[in-house]
Chain A
């Protein structure tokens, strides 16, 4: 049994050290309590719904979310809008469909099965409208940045005046948490920029937290299912391991040997 413990600790040490190597980050990000972290982590439903509001009223002007569909908004483990609400949200967007029988493309209200409507026709159009910088698609943005949610959360609140001596080009802004500190996106949030339908006070901090939560869900829609299944799987494995351990002891008691 001593050997097993040794072995186990080696494996854990090894995985921890390899993790440290990979996620070595220099900047200290702002911290907040994320409800979706930990063994039983779940999304804060109200925060997700508010986060969607921030996304659609602020971010969606420039940032696409091309891998999400309107139906996702009513799915379990997400913002869990009612199906009627999700339908209404979808219908508020104009979707280009076609060609129809005459060979023409046409506009129609969105349906649940439609993907989120993109703000620009293509990457080039997005670049042209944003001074040459492509506003990245937000579907998996949280997973595509070292530091993940903490990074996005900090970045949204990281706009400051540039330190003296730093010269910024036109259309470039200073951000404490951006790689190289220069960012093309102007500060997207300001206190009271939107009005939350549930009456929450829309401070920059609150909106940053809500929209980051929403982005986490967008990147990892199965997070809740994963945590739930993970807990069951690991408990099951531990029980089975214990049972097998005693069976093993029993079987090996027939021979003169250590196990």
Chain B
């Protein structure tokens, strides 16, 4: 890192930089040495930043036209859709943007799990990431309440009611959250306030997330430490900037497809029915990105334990760096972990599927098995595996496998023999 030697060329620049080293920061960001073997799974950090900014900007415009009142919220959304110039576009970007945000964050998290990016010395980056993820879920949930449709209302009722499981004070807490004796106008106004606040908290945490990243630098597909700067690294600009930009554009094509051609496919039809406290929908289902946790919640017969299980499923991720006892980061060199990793991915997808189905019969049984396996993975498999697993020897530097065309030495050799 060349931060310390950096001096601006112009006199004015030097004068300013001595007082507020913004130019030093900019120089650090452009020169930031990045491992050159990062694959496309690493582009989702940039994509997520784009998602956050998109949500904030579109949300700002929506907030100018939206009315947070139980009697007017639904109508004001229709006003946005019909009478505000390009209101439909802005709202559809915002609504689908939430789904895109979660799609990207799940890829980002699972990339981290595969390549062991949460391990020393990157635990703090990881924990900040989990806090961001929690806040994202809170923001998304409250955002879904704002249109004040049937799913908004009943989703809010179900989720806030979870707090009633707290022993002794539960009921009081729920009344306090609602600001009354049911989900009503006070609930809507406070959810709107919090929905507006949380993205800025996330933004602050994103700055910390990136700051914490820039201390040790990026992990990479090989998972070994990289000397910085060296021939194993490239400066962030232009190499990573253009690569992230390319991946972002691909992502935006998918995003645009949803916004322009299937804007309501990820939402629930019932949310176009105005909230009615007297009519309960046949199935109350959260948005797709919360389904795995919803499945865990419902798979436990006891309400309190169900809530505990659901929260633990998320919070267990925060202690993951200490549950995984393996010193090897990348799954490429951990043949057994690699298998278990894909089983976990399948497990979470199954949980998501059964979360959308009614909690009965076979679905409930599958949900229970999948929930048990989820915890087994983190609490038993990971700690034991780190101690028992026979790993593949690590290369000395990332240049070595990169020149072979693959991060995996065995695969690299296979490739070479094919060429011969």
- On A, residues with C-beta under 8 Å from B are 3-4, 7-8, 10-12, 14-15, 17-19, 21-24, 39, 67-68, 72, 136, 139-140, 143-146, 148, 179, 219, 221-222, 225-227, 229-231, 233-234, 237-238, 240-241, 244-245, 247-248, 251-252, 255-259
* Contact between B261 and A39, CB atoms less than 8 A apart: yes
| Interface locus among B15-23, B187-195, B268-276, B323-331 | B268-276
Smallest CB-CB A-B distances: 9 pairs:
A230-B260, A144-B272, A241-B249, A143-B272, A222-B88, A257-B36, A21-B356, A67-B78, A140-B272
Contacts of A247 in B (CB 8 A): 242
Which residue of A has the minimal Cβ distance to B88? A222
Contacts of A234 in B (CB 8 A): 253, 256-257, 260
Assembled-state Cα–Cα distance A154/B282 (Å)? 21
Contact with A along B71-112 (1 / 0, CB 8 A): 000010011011000001100100000000001000100000
Contacts of A238 in B (CB 8 A): 253
Contacts of B260 in A (CB 8 A): 226-227, 229-231, 233-234
Which residue of B has the minimal Cβ distance to A222? B88
CB pairs A–B below 8 angstroms (15 shown): A8-B254, A18-B288, A19-B265, A22-B288, A67-B82, A146-B269, A227-B260, A229-B260, A230-B261, A238-B253, A244-B245, A244-B246, A248-B242, A252-B243, A258-B402
Which single member of B37, B88, B270 contacts A257 (CB below 8 Å)?
Answer: B37
* Contact between B249 and A240, CB atoms less than 8 A apart: yes
* Contact between A11 and B103, CB atoms less than 8 A apart: yes
Mostly, the A contact residues are helix
Assembled-state Cα–Cα distance A248/B266 (Å)? 33
Which residue of B has the minimal Cβ distance to A11? B254
Assembled-state Cα–Cα distance A244/B277 (Å)? 51
Q: B215: CB under 8 A from chain A?
A: no
Mostly, the B contact residues are helix
- Give residues of chain B (28-48) contacting chain A, Cβ–Cβ below 8 Å: 36-37, 39-41
* Contact between B239 and A255, CB atoms less than 8 A apart: yes
* Contact between B273 and A8, CB atoms less than 8 A apart: no
Assembled-state Cα–Cα distance A68/B88 (Å)? 15
Contact flag A248-B75 (CB < 8 Å), given A23-B265, A229-B89, A230-B260: no
Contacts of A146 in B (CB 8 A): 269
Which single member of A18, A256, A258 contacts B266 (CB below 8 Å)?
Answer: A18
Assembled-state Cα–Cα distance A180/B353 (Å)? 25
* Count of A-B residue pairs with CB < 8 Å: 131
* Contact between B288 and A258, CB atoms less than 8 A apart: no
Contacts of B238 in A (CB 8 A): 251
Q: B396: CB under 8 A from chain A?
A: no
11 additional contacts (CB under 8 A) given A22-B356, A24-B356, A241-B253 = A7-B40, A11-B107, A21-B291, A22-B288, A67-B79, A68-B82, A230-B257, A233-B256, A233-B260, A244-B242, A255-B36
Contacts of A139 in B (CB 8 A): 78
Q: B186: CB under 8 A from chain A?
A: no
* Contact between B254 and A12, CB atoms less than 8 A apart: yes
Which single member of B107, B249, B254, B405 contacts A258 (CB below 8 Å)?
Answer: B405
* Contact between B78 and A22, CB atoms less than 8 A apart: no
Which residue of B has the minimal Cβ distance to A226? B260
Assembled-state Cα–Cα distance A11/B285 (Å)? 22
Tell me the smallest distance from the CB of B87 to a CB of chain A, in Å.
9
Tell me the smallest distance from the CB of A232 to a CB of chain B, in Å.
9
Which residue of B has the minimal Cβ distance to A257? B36
Contacts of B247 in A (CB 8 A): 4
Tell me the smallest distance from the CB of B76 to a CB of chain A, in Å.
11
